[in-house]
Structure 1
């Protein structure tokens, strides 16, 4: 499999945490764990496109955009501002002189 990293990650709102999708492999993990009752036609099309991307047939930026739209439709796309970053949680104390 060729380079499968996204230029910018996507973030998925889960019930108790936010999951980062930074690569095609992360998307496959998300789709593998997708509830059976929610596997509709949109899910199947996205899964097929991901498989094609893994073979180098479908462009990775298009996969990222389709995943973004899929998550938006599901109400699961997290805004980057909602994701707590370690840098935001630490204070800027000067420990040295």
Structure 2
């Protein structure tokens, strides 16, 4: 596979956790783990597009956009603002001292 990193990662809500999707490989892992009962036509089209992207036929930015739309449709796309930042919760305390 050629360069498969996205220009900006996507974030997926997984229960109480956030998963980063930064590459085509991350998307393949997501699709492999996607529940069978939720694998409809949109899922199948996305899988085919990802396979074409892995072959260098389908543009990576288009894959990222399609994954973003898929996650949004499924209600699991997390906004970057929802991702907690460690520094935000340290209350300016120096944890190293």
Alignment TM-score, normalising by the size of structure 2: 0.91
Aligned to 2:60: 60
Aligned to 2:26: 26
Aligned to 1:49: 49
What 5-or-longer segments of structure 1 have no aligned partner? none
What 5-or-longer segments of structure 2 have no aligned partner? none
Is structure 2 residue 84 aligned with structure 1 residue 84? yes
Alignment TM-score, normalising by the size of structure 1: 0.91
Q: Give the distance between the partners of 1:80 and 1:74, measured in 2 at CA.
A: 17
For residues 47-96 of structure 1, what are the alpha-carbon distances to aligned partners after superposition, in whole Å with 9 as ceiling and x for unaligned?
Answer: 000000000000000000000000000000001000012232334457xx
**Further displaced range: 74-83 or 84-93:** 84-93
Indicate the SS of the match to 1:22. strand
Q: Give the distance between the partners of 2:28 and 2:90, measured in 1 at CA.
A: 33
Indicate the SS of the match to 1:71. helix
Indicate the SS of the match to 1:52. helix
Higher strand share: 2
